[in-house]
Structure 1
Amino acid sequence: WSDGSALTAADFVYSWKRAAAPETAADYSYMLNGIVGYPDNLNVTADGDDKLTVVLTAPCAYMLDLAAFPTFYPVKQSVVEAAEGFKDASGAIIDAGAWATEAGFVSCGAYMLESWTHNESMVYVKNPYWYDADNVKIAKLEFMLSADDTAIFAAYQAGNLDFIDTVPTDEIKNLKSNPEFHIIPNLGTYYVTFNVGSPLFEGKTVEQAAAVRKAISRLINRQYIIDTVGQCEQEIATSFIPAGMADGHGGVFKTSDAEFAYPVGNGYFAEEPSEADAIALLESAGYKFTDGKLDASTPLAFEYITNESTGHIAIAQCIQADLAKVGIVVTIKTVDWDTFLAERKAGNFDVARNGWLADFNDPINMLEMWTTESGNNDAQYGRGGSAAPAWAEFDGLIAQIKASTDFVEREALMHAAEDILMETGALCPIYYYNDLYMQKANMSGFYASLFGTKYFMYCDIAK
């Protein structure tokens, strides 16, 4: 640990059981549900200081990927449980993360958080006890915290930052020829989420509500969004599971073959928008049209929420303009990041921008997040609503996938699960992610994963 005390297998036993425990209420607790005894008594044991034994409910091809995900990182029990605000007088947990809300906590990575001015900056210093500390060259990392990509880019241009991973949308075109500008692949999907329990769908049947959502999707000009906002050669998304994701047994999941064929080409809908298709779907849901526009007797209007970013706002404006062509009125609401996450998680929205970078390279990661009890189920599946789809079948299918020992059968089950998701229309894929960043020419050693994680521990700055 960063305080010099021993990090042992027992720390992992405590940490994994804590992450799974219902009282912790971790959004990602479901990622441990493949371990026997989940959630109350995980079958994980420490055999001495340096050996951890884990008993799984079924073979798991991506278990080592899970072990590299932050939910599985160790936390120090004495630090967690001594934190002010952790429990109330009765012993009930009131804030499981209280131990890490300010700088100075004990950790076990390459750097330690030395100071933290909330919403402004963080300063990390080298951890001398890290296992590979001898190869960490930079003694201090200073992070600027801001949602203002214009201010971030200005700080980079002024030489106050060596690395940034956002730039204003209107700067991208000119930066592409700059050798300090980089585009790298990601494994994930940018999409729009509909709240299936929203009052927007009151008075509709389950099928009509899905038709409304699918109609909205068919109006969106995805290529225009890519060309004018994304501008980094993103690929139009016609499925929620991204192109290139593994299938769990040596192949690529997004493939039409003898075992599975997508409904439309290599996806669930055509890449090109279609007002005719959208109008037909809306008419099937009870809306009336006059000269290609919604009749005043059946208006359709909703609020679209997004966080502060020139790119996200520009995408919202593109969608707003696309939907206006048939008379749908979209009001864009921009909120700060913390409020955005809280409102989306609580289901206090009609329609919201969303995105998911895979946590590991297996489709189950992007399917199990939509189970009823998942902390990442922003669409509110299984949580009520007069026009919300029944969700027990999906929940059961995910449980079956997690228990499967036949990897070919498992792939077929995952396709069936995505079919159910896409049939609801509540997930509206826009494009498959890639990422951009800028780094000064004298900086070296940086690398990033397909999952969006950025690593600075082996960076260096040439003088």
Structure 2
Amino acid sequence: MSSIVSTTRSVPRYATMALVILSLVVLGSCGAFRDQGAGQQGGGGSPNVLRFNLQFEIPDLNSTTTTDGASFDVLNNVMEGLYRLDEDQQPQPAMAEGVEVSEDKLTYTFTLRDGIRWSNGDPVTSHDFRYAWLRAMDPETAGQYSFIISDYIRGDAEFSAGEGSAEDVAIKIPDDKTLRVTLTNPTPFFLGLTAFPTYLPQKQSFVERQGERYSQSEDALLYNGPYTLTELDPTSGATFVKNEDYWDKENVDVERVEGKIVKDVATAVNLYEAGELDATELSSEYVNEYEDSPALDPMVMFSTSYLEMNQSNPAFRNENIRKAIQIGFDREILADKVLNDGSVGAEGYVPPLMDSGGPGDRTFREATPEVLEGFDPERARDLYRRGVEEIGEEPTLTLLVADDSSERDVGMFLQSQFEENLGADVEVKVLPFDRLLEQTAAGDYDFYHLRWVADYNDPMSFLDLWTTNSSFNYTGFSNEEYDRLIASAKVETDPARRLQQLARAEEILIRDEAVVAPTFHPGLTELIRPSVEGLVFHPYGPVEFKYETIRDEPASQGQR
């Protein structure tokens, strides 16, 4: 299961279908930072301080319940799980010094490092992980991300549903340094999951002593990551200071990170130019301004935006019309001209750079055949005309899009393309994001545009949405071969066979059945002062401060 969102970093990046719409604080001027000083080196003149735009409020630092991107960014840098993602999105040993995996790929035995400690001096133990994971699944305390654990560990689904006990969950602690976990099915991306915030440890005695105060302030948390919090204001920001008790402190270079909350892009750009921010996200209107600047840092997310077509509608029950929609618009113009934010035209359903889920280090796109035809207006018009003849009438199609500026632009572009290239009659209806989710979940739509973001680095994060019984499949699509392939891939232990199964599933979804029409893979463009090196934005996870360094640089570098 993954995440449905309306934009990339413009809303919490990890919100689920039950998305909580948060009120966001806009800082309208640079005055909020007037006492912080200026200058053009990293940290506004302080050579070992990073000033980073968190962009949104920090509503929930309880790893059991949190779902939003800003809180994930904070927790990822002050806490640490068994594994941590490196600069290349690969899980590396963190609190665990290593793991032994059974031959059947079901049992993982983690050994914790010697000398790892909480910020109060207490040792981090295997009990802290078991307590946190069970708390994340307990119906009395669980949050929206309980599935990220309960879907994988044996006995967790029953416990999470209130039908089993904690003792039946296959998380065992032979001693303080050993955690033994048995999975329901082989899960090749499980080590990556242990870096996810819901898998972070919690110390039971501290949590219980804090009660409802837990995680509400910098003093109501214990830290075991690269940094600790010395200041926390959920509406204005947080101050991170290097954790001197962290096991890998020798490889944490930056001493202090000042996390500011500046939602307004123009304000953030002005603060960057004044030397009071070192890293902030850009919107499309600023990308051209910094086009030749070494500060511009675009990336493609592990995300796909696409058109979902309701097959209960006679028009979209027709395969020719669905295929016409797929190839009836120019994906490159949409990404490069309309969006202009680092997005790229869709290459398939599974995004580029995502691991193959099979052997070797190839990406899924490199390891599998092309499944998505290129833009072909003549063939698209011919397919559409044939489809209209087959259904016996000229349909009027309503396209639903979310109520934000980029989605409005996408909707208007697609409407124009379909009218020009297909001769189709398309109306665009803009809805608030929560209304869009409600209406589409009820099946009350013709077709709509949405974005899916991975929670882990594996094609299954995208492909298991479309099984017949998936709670996210609103299209009416049902294919026995597809269901069988996904079910087989979930238990397959041979990486090569698993890759073949996933590749064939995507072929059915896109090439054979044209269930959805991928539009683009969303991008994220950051403005990062060139003196800041190693600041990692994972394409499906939180930002990493651990790997960064700051070097001296002339004042003019990185400006317009």
TM range (shorter): 0.7 to 0.9
Shift of 1:28: 6.0
- Is this contact kept in 1: 2:402–2:431, CA < 8 A? yes
Post-superposition offset of 1:144: 1.7
TM-superposed deviation, 1:158? 3.5
Residue in structure 1 matching 2:132, options 9, 15, 20:
15
Measured after TM superposition, the shift of residue 252 of structure 1 is 4.3
Give, in angstroms, the shift of residue 222 of structure 1.
0.6
Q: Encode CA deviations 1:192-227: one digit per residue, 9 max, x unaligned.
A: 25375xxxx65538834x665544333322111122
Matches within 5 A, 1:79-90: none
CA separation in 2, counterparts of 1:137 and 1:438?
Answer: 19
Distance 1:317 1:235, change over 3 A: same
Please tell me whether the aligned partners of residues 411 and 428 of structure 2 are also in contact (alpha carbons under 8 angstroms): no
**Residues 278 and 368 of structure 1: CA distance in aligned 2, closer, same or farther (over 3 Å):** same
Provide the rounded CA distance (Å) in 2 between the counterparts of 1:369 and 1:19.
23
Query: Would the aligned equivalents of 2:397 and 2:426 in 1 still touch at CA under 8 Å?
Result: yes
Q: Structure 2, unaligned stretches of length 5 or more?
A: 1-117, 160-167, 553-560
For residues 319-378 of structure 1, give each alpha carbon's deviation from its aligned partner in whole angstroms, at most 9, with x where no partner exists. 23323433201133465xxx5897599669842331424622x3223223556787xx6x
Cα distance, 1:132 vs structure 2: 3.2
Q: 1:188 to 1:345 in 2, by over 3 A?
A: farther
Q: Is the CA contact (8 Å cut-off) linking 1:123 and 1:140 kept in structure 2?
A: yes
Question: What residue ranges of structure 1 are gaps of 5+ in the alignment?
Answer: 86-97, 290-297
Q: Counterpart of 2:425 in structure 1: which amino acid? A: G
Deviations 1:64-87 (A, max 9, x none): 2222233322234456567767xx
Is residue 448 of structure 1 aligned with residue 558 of structure 2? Answer: no
The CA distance in 2 between the partners of 1:223 and 1:57, in whole Å, is 41
1:52 aligned residue: 179
SS in 1 for 2:519: strand
Aligned in 2, Cα 1:446/1:30: closer, same or farther, shift over 3 Å?
A: closer
1-side partners of 2:514 and 2:216: how far apart? 38
Q: Which moved more, 1:6-15 or 1:236-245?
A: 236-245
283, 302, 305: which one aligns with 1:188: 302
For residue 363 of structure 1, the aligned residue among 459, 462, 465 is: 459
Q: 2:364 aligns with which of 215, 232, 253?
A: 253
Counterpart in 1 of 2:504?
416
Q: Is the 8 A contact 2:400 2:436 kept in 1?
A: no
Q: What secondary structure, in the 3-state scheme, does the structure 1 residue paired with 2:364 have?
A: coil
Instruction: Report how far residue 171 of structure 1 moved.
Output: 2.4
Query: Aligned with 1:241: secondary structure?
Result: coil
Change in Cα spacing, 1:144 to 1:391, as seen in structure 2 (3 Å) is: farther
Per the alignment, residue 155 of structure 2 pairs with 37
Q: In structure 2, what is the Cα distance between the partners aligned to 1:348 and 1:103? A: 44
Query: Cα distance 1:447–1:345, how it changes in 2: closer, same or farther (>3 A)?
Result: farther
CA distance in 2, matches of 1:369, 1:37: 23
Q: Using the alignment, how far apart are the partners of 2:469 and 2:135 within structure 1?
A: 17
- The aligned amino acid for 2:280 is I
The equivalent of 1:94 in structure 2 is none
Count of matched residue positions in the alignment of Structure 1 and Structure 2: 413
| Alpha-carbon distance, 1:99 to partner | 5.0
Residue 247 of structure 1 contacts residue 411 of structure 1 at CA under 8 Å; is this kept in 2? yes
Do the aligned partners of residues 317 and 126 (structure 1) sit closer, same or farther apart at CA in structure 2, a change above 3 Å counting?
A: farther
Q: Distance in 1 between matches of 2:529 and 2:137?
A: 41
Q: By how many angstroms is 1:450 displaced?
A: 4.8
Aligned to 2:20: none
| CA drift at 1:177 | 0.6
Q: Provide closer, same or farther for how the CA distance between residues 80 and 395 of structure 1 changes in structure 2, counting only shifts above 3 A.
A: farther
Scaled by the length of structure 1, the TM-score of the pair is: 0.73
Counterpart for residue 439 of structure 1:
528
SS in 1 for 2:175: coil
Say if 1:77 and 1:367 are closer, same or farther in 2 by CA, change over 3 A.
farther
Q: Does 1:314 align with 2:409?
A: yes
CA change 1:140–1:183 in 2 (3 A) is closer
Pairing 1:70-109 to 2, within 5 Å after superposition: 70-78=197-205, 100=215, 104-106=219-221, 107-109=223-225
Alignment of 1:43-442 (within 5 A): 43-78=170-205, 100=215, 104-106=219-221, 107-113=223-229, 114-118=231-235, 120-133=236-249, 135-146=252-263, 148-165=264-281, 167-184=282-299, 186=300, 188-194=302-308, 196=310, 204=314, 207-208=317-318, 213-231=322-340, 235-244=344-353, 245-250=355-360, 251-254=362-365, 262=369, 266-273=370-377, 275-277=380-382, 279-280=384-385, 282-283=387-388, 286=391, 288-289=393-394, 298-306=395-403, 308=404, 311-325=406-420, 326-333=424-431, 339=434, 350=445, 351-357=448-454, 359-360=456-457, 362-370=458-466, 380-381=472-473, 388-390=476-478, 397-422=485-510, 425-442=514-531
Post-superposition offset of 1:388:
1.8
Would you say the 8 A contact 2:485–2:501 is kept in 1?
yes
Post-superposition shift, 1:228? Answer: 0.7
- For residue 371 of structure 2, give the secondary structure of its aligned residue in structure 1: coil
Deviation string, structure 1 residues 143-186 (Cα, Å, up to 9, x no partner): 2242x433433332333311012x231322231211111234x4
1:66–1:285 distance in 2 versus 1, CA, 3 Å: farther
State the alpha-carbon separation in 1 of the partners of residues 220 and 413 from structure 2. Answer: 43
The whole-number CA distance in structure 1 between the counterparts of 2:435 and 2:237 is 21
Cα distance, 1:268 vs structure 2:
3.0
Q: Are residues 104 and 77 of structure 1, via their aligned partners in 2, closer, same or farther at CA, if it must alter by over 3 Å? A: same
Quick check: 1:358–1:366 contact (8 Å CA) kept in 2? no
Amino acid at match of 1:398: I
Kindly indicate whether the alpha-carbon contact (under 8 Å) linking 2:352 and 2:365 is maintained by their aligned counterparts in 1: yes
- State how far apart, in whole Å, the 2-side matches of 1:440 and 1:149 are: 16
Change (3 A) 1:143 1:433: same
Could you tell me how far apart the structure 1 residues matched to 2:391 and 2:452 are? 31
